[in-house]
Amino acid sequence: MRSPPDAVAPPQAARPLAAAVLRRRRVLGLTVREWRTTAIAYLFLLPGLALLALFTFYPVAFGTVLSLYEFNLRTLLGTEPARFVGLAHFRRLWEDRVFWLALANSLKYVLVVPVLQVCAILLAVAVNRPLRGIAWFRAAYYVPVITSIVVVGLVWRWLYEQDGIINYVLTRLGLLDRPIAWLGHPTLALYAVMFVTLWKGLGYYMVIYLAGLQAISPEYEEAAMIDGAGRWQVFRHITLPLLRPAILVASTISVIAAVKVFEEIYVMTGGGPMFRTFTLFFYIFDVGFQRFDFGYAAAVAVVLAVGVMVLSAVNFVVFRRGGFEYY
């Protein structure tokens, strides 16, 4: 049997009313419910953000501070306090011949970018066709990207050997008079390492351009074909301009990677011969972890950071200019 309605009504009506009042009351501009959501949201974010704060954001701030201090192995072990030296590290950099050599090599390394991007675009165009088995070709071109740099570096070191297979083929073809020690050659060593960067990176940029190409509606190219444009003209005047966003993204990534190159060099030449493949990042590693001069290493890192930012800004401006009228 049901209770009389008026006996049950007050508590039933009171609860939603109280809840409604509570819901509308604002604490610091937020209702209780909104506070609850906020708390839950930050609980979800907490572990990830804490790690990012400690290992990604904090290093940028502390690294800049560190560049103004004398901070060596003794400081790290706590037997000697960090000493403020102001801009002394940067003055020392100005006089440091190895630093200028490393800077020059890092800038030279950027030469790999245009070659790499042109090859990757051509490769992407070549595999952007509905051929049978094309997926396997794409996969084959991508394999170097996912292979360990240590494996890649060791193999190329062997291929580049004085009595290795590259020298054999080139001398047999008559392109070389006698075998060259590629990685020991004062001028060629850097280019030999750059070639490995090109070989390893091709597949990565190919995929970026492939995505760019597949976003282009085939109608544009078909219309140009009907108007009598040749294949080169279509590529030059239709495809390439439409690919500009992809080119911007890919070359920015590529420039930054080139200025910061380290692993190829560490595995293949160790910075030699005679500092000829010493790059900025290699110098940071050398100063920091061979000489334990962390303050000075941080100063080099700050210079590299500024350089990377300037280069990506320049890259952005160059590609933006005149490029966006197509959209």
Q: Does 222 bind other proteins (CB under 8 A)?
A: no
DSSP helix/strand/coil, 68: coil
| Interface with other proteins, residue 8, by CB under 8 A | no
Residue from 88, 185, 263, 319 in contact with other proteins (CB under 8 A)? 263
> What are the phi and psi torsion angles at 293 (to 5°)?
-100, 75
Q: What are phi and psi of 115, to 5 degrees?
A: -60, -50
Count of Cβ atoms closer than 10 Å to residue 243 Cβ: 21
Q: For residue 69, give the DSSP letter.
A: E
Report in angstroms how near the CB of residue 288 gets to other proteins at its nearest: 5
Contact window for other proteins (CB under 8 A) among 15-23, 98-106, 271-279, 301-309: 301-309
Stretch that binds other proteins, among 12-20, 180-188, 230-238, 302-310 (CB under 8 A): 302-310
Instruction: Work out which of 93, 101, 234, 246 binds other proteins, going by CB under 8 A.
Output: 246
From residue 176, how far is each of 170, 181, 184, 317 by CA, in Å? 6, 12, 16, 42
Q: Which residues pair with 70 in a beta bridge?
A: 83
Candidate list 83, 148, 186, 324; residue touching other proteins; CB under 8 A: 148
For residue 314, state whether it binds other proteins (rule: CB under 8 A): no
Please, where are the H alpha helices in the chain? 5-24, 32-52, 58-66, 73-76, 88-95, 97-109, 112-127, 134-146, 149-159, 165-172, 188-214, 218-226, 231-234, 240-242, 244-259, 263-268, 280-285, 294-320
310 scored as a contact of other proteins (CB under 8 A): no
Distance CA 311, CA 282 (A): 19
CB 270 → other proteins: shortest distance, Å? 10
User: Does residue 211 belong to the site contacting other proteins (CB under 8 A)?
Assistant: yes
CB of 237: closest distance to other proteins in angstroms? 23
Which residues between 59 and 88 bind other proteins (CB under 8 A)? 59-60, 62-64, 66, 71, 76
Q: Scanning residues 10 to 69, which ones bind other proteins (CB under 8 A)?
A: 30, 34, 37-38, 40-42, 44-45, 47-49, 51-52, 54-60, 62-64, 66
